[in-house]
């Protein structure tokens, strides 16, 4: 079963570009999402900052035009990443990215 996550927001950190030992290009961006949502009949402000990993040549090329403040819509899947100190966080692995402004 495919569970696609869609997140829109502004790029709030400079993109970080790298390449894996296998030669696969990666770009990591951080998106800040803010919106008003309805929950239990009440308005609620939603806010999240999430890292997004763009892997592969096509997504890497699309990310070349992204700068701080770029508005994007990303779809993909969530995965758990663990840093060197063992702290875990959720990261969105992009399958598609679209600049919306």
The per-residue pLDDT for range 60-82, each reduced to its tens digit, is 888 889 999 999 999 999 999 88
Q: Are the C-beta atoms of 70 and 10 separated by less than 8 Å?
A: yes
> At 78, which CATH number?
2.40.50.140
pLDDT confidence of residue 79: 94
Closest among 64, 47, 65, 56 to 96, alpha carbons compared: 56
Residue 1's pLDDT is 55
The tally of domains found in the chain comes to 1
Buried b (16+ CB within 10 A) or exposed e, 44-83: eeeeeebbbbbbeeebbebbeebeeebebebebeeeeeee
Are 35 and 10 spatial neighbours (Cβ–Cβ below 8 Å)? Answer: no
What is the domain range of residue 17?
5-99
């Amino acid at each position: 079963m495919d569970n696609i996550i869609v997140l829109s927001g502004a790029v709030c950190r400079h993109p970080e570009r790298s390449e894996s030992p296998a030669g696969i290009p990666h770009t990591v961006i951080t998106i800040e999402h803010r919106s008003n949502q309805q929950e239990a009949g009440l308005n609620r402000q939603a806010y999240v900052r999430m890292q997004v990993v763009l892997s592969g040549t096509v997504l890497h090329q699309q990310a070349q035009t992204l700068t701080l403040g770029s508005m994007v819509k990303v779809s993909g899947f969530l995965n758990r990443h663990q840093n060197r100190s063992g702290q875990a966080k959720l990261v969105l692995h992009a399958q598609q990215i679209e600049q919306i402004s």
